[in-house]
Structure 1
Amino acid sequence: MRLEGIFAAAVTAAKADGQVDRARTRAHVERLLAGGCHGVALFGTTGEAASFSIAERKAMLEDLVGAGIPAERILPGVGLCARDDTLTLARHALELGCRHLLMLPPFFYKGVSDAGVAAAFAEVLERLPAEARVILYHFPKVSAVPITPEVVTPLLERFGPMVAGIKDSSADLDHTLGLVRAFPDLAVFPGADHHLLTVLQAGGAGSISAAANLNGAGSRKVFDLFKAGDAAAAEAAQVQVTAVRKAVEGGPLIPSIKALLALRLDDPEWRRVRPPLVELADDSGLAAAKAALANVETKV
């Protein structure tokens, strides 16, 4: 079955020494799942994946699964520049029961060809067991290595169901809808919450988004109303989701989300980010986000 639903691109709590704060991150994941998210994307862009080591990422995933969080509700980010590093994370996640993997392309070299990107993915896929399901991660603003249809098509032809979907973080609605039309059997997830309902209506799978850290319940409401066929109510619910996303993205996204979590939980430790990101100097830029979140359903 095609993967569907609302997945929060979970932020990662950090200790004063910069190491992963596993207890706070676990509690956050538990809140996200209890609050309506179908699952979480762990160590994606919003989770500051590139700032944490392979060992830290493996330990966090082991912590979550060991705490009883169903592995099938976790989408671990596994895409690194070196093939064998990607394989290390992917195999570890699969051994723990995480079938779906969120995979960036190798992102250090820029201006590479579609054939080169497809070959890099193929070298990983051919070394994974057939039950693995990979969500290709298109985020050209950050990676500068786009995942084009010319990358996806040969991978689908060669690996079939192992290529399960695409996360489109381009924030370009036309691009996302083009992927839905071009690959109707794939699970296409926008990273932009404000595109959720439009993409669902076109045949998309849901969303994998940063703002779901704060408003997963709102996105889940849109998803459920759409599935129930209540178009008017889904449109109304989408208005609230869009308002939260637009307010949150007014400043640096990851520090803003962490600052808002710190305020919501009355826990200043949540403000911490890993360099090169920096904490917000003050909360003066959060007024719109706080107003948009004032009536958001949440479980703390």
Structure 2
Amino acid sequence: MSDRSLRGVIAAISTPVDERGEPDIERLLAHARYLLDHGCNGLNLLGTTGEATSFSLRQRLSVMKAVADAGLPLARFMVGTGAASVTDAVALTTAAATVGFAGALILPPFYYKPVTNEGIARYIGAIADATAQHDIPLYLYNFPALSGITYTPDLVSLLVATFGHRIAGLKDSSGDLSYARTIAGLSSTLDVFPSNEGVLIEARGGAFAGCISATANLNSVDCGRAFQDGDETALARAVAIRAIFDGLPLVPGIKHVIASRLGDPAWRNTIAPLMSLPPDEAAIVQERLAAIEPVSA
């Protein structure tokens, strides 16, 4: 396993937005500081949970700059820089490298299908070449349910063979742990992060680098105890909190719970095409959450 700084519990942090759909920087920074102080080893900024692909290039760059300017520890931040446009992906990754983020998380180019492994390697190559001076680690983001493209073992092997140490690892949101284990076994230099906090105790033994989880926005304390201390009770509670969203929209659901906990309705805002959680689904979330032992802070 590598000695990179990104390791352990990484929350795929939600991005609060105002009524106009602009990133709410003040709320974002407050939430980031809370998570880093309450169990998270790091944060994945502008990922799927952060609604990144619904933001413009300008908005994404503004969020990155605001986080950098706030003095937050960028060595603990991975930032999503993938885009359908290779030019936008290069611009975002170059900005991430320039300001000092610890890693860039890259979706495959997700519109045209089918695409060849060589075509995706061409896309990654443009990003790697543009950021060669800064050498920012590149993490592949495997989420075929949304992107429609899988970073297959053959493709990952091709990318590692072509770009070497620049391919630092992979975040897997497929939910297939056998796939994640296969990717982790391809190279000792690859740091693999499943998206489910259920792997955290297993990760303590080195099977994975940790997890990058949407629900770590809500269960970070228990996730931290599971990873740092091997606390099985905390892990069970963390997994139970994740399960309250089964069959429900995850991103609006997480924002609903944050809003409820903070007494701050503005946290429920989402960007189109997502909608705030409707009352009937919000009631289900609250009922399920109330059945779980409260997380101690």
- TM-score, with structure 1 as normaliser: 0.92
Deviation track 1:6-46 (CA, whole Å, cap 9, x = no partner) reads: 11001110101111111111111111111121111111000
Aligned-pair identity (%): 36
Partner residue in 2 for 1:265: 262
- Which of 5-14 and 248-257 deviates more? 248-257
Q: Which runs of 5+ in 2 are unaligned?
A: none
Q: Is the aligned partner of 1:22 residue 2:28?
A: no
1:135 counterpart SS class: strand
Q: Is the aligned partner of 1:156 residue 2:153?
A: no
Deviation track 1:143-175 (CA, whole Å, cap 9, x = no partner) reads: 001101111112212222111010000011221
Q: Is the aligned partner of 1:166 residue 2:166?
A: no
Match of 1:244 among 241, 245, 263: 241
State whether residues 42 and 75 of structure 1, in contact with CA within 8 Å, keep that contact through their aligned partners in structure 2.
yes
Partner residue in 2 for 1:287: 286
Which one-letter code corresponds to 1:263 in the other structure?
A: S
State whether residues 256 and 268 of structure 2, in contact with CA within 8 Å, keep that contact through their aligned partners in structure 1.
yes
- Which of 154-163 and 268-277 deviates more? 154-163
Partner residue in 1 for 2:71: 68
Match of 1:96 among 78, 99, 121: 99
Q: Is the aligned partner of 1:56 residue 2:53?
A: no
Shift, 1:294, TM fit: 4.6
Shift, 1:240, TM fit: 1.4
State whether residues 190 and 196 of structure 1, in contact with CA within 8 Å, keep that contact through their aligned partners in structure 2.
no
Paired with 1:27 and 1:285, the residues of 2 have a C-alpha distance of: 27
Partner residue in 1 for 2:138: 134
State whether residues 184 and 203 of structure 1, in contact with CA within 8 Å, keep that contact through their aligned partners in structure 2.
no
Shift, 1:219, TM fit: 1.1
Paired with 1:172 and 1:199, the residues of 2 have a C-alpha distance of: 15
Shift, 1:191, TM fit: 0.8
Paired with 1:249 and 1:68, the residues of 2 have a C-alpha distance of: 36
Deviation track 1:100-129 (CA, whole Å, cap 9, x = no partner) reads: 111111111122222222222122212212
1:287 counterpart SS class: helix
Shift, 1:99, TM fit: 3.0
Paired with 1:284 and 1:39, the residues of 2 have a C-alpha distance of: 31
Partner residue in 2 for 1:221: 225
State whether residues 6 and 38 of structure 1, in contact with CA within 8 Å, keep that contact through their aligned partners in structure 2.
yes
- TM-score, with structure 2 as normaliser: 0.93
State whether residues 8 and 200 of structure 2, in contact with CA within 8 Å, keep that contact through their aligned partners in structure 1.
no
Which one-letter code corresponds to 1:268 in the other structure?
A: P
Shift, 1:178, TM fit: 1.8
Partner residue in 2 for 1:125: 128
Paired with 2:248 and 2:167, the residues of 1 have a C-alpha distance of: 34
Which one-letter code corresponds to 1:290 in the other structure?
A: L
Please identify runs of 4+ aligned residues in structure 1 that moved more than 3 A: 198-202
CA distance 1:174–1:200, change in 2 (3 Å): farther
State whether residues 101 and 133 of structure 1, in contact with CA within 8 Å, keep that contact through their aligned partners in structure 2.
yes
Paired with 1:55 and 1:292, the residues of 2 have a C-alpha distance of: 42
Which one-letter code corresponds to 2:294 in the other structure?
A: N
Q: How many residues align?
A: 291
1:41 counterpart SS class: strand
- Which of 9-18 and 114-123 deviates more? 114-123
Shift, 1:198, TM fit: 3.4
Which one-letter code corresponds to 2:257 in the other structure?
A: L
Which one-letter code corresponds to 1:252 in the other structure?
A: P
Partner residue in 1 for 2:15: 12
Which one-letter code corresponds to 1:37 in the other structure?
A: C
Shift, 1:293, TM fit: 5.5
Q: Is the aligned partner of 1:204 residue 2:201?
A: no
Measured on the aligned residues, the alpha-carbon RMSD in Å equals: 1.6
Paired with 1:69 and 1:293, the residues of 2 have a C-alpha distance of: 32
Partner residue in 2 for 1:144: 148
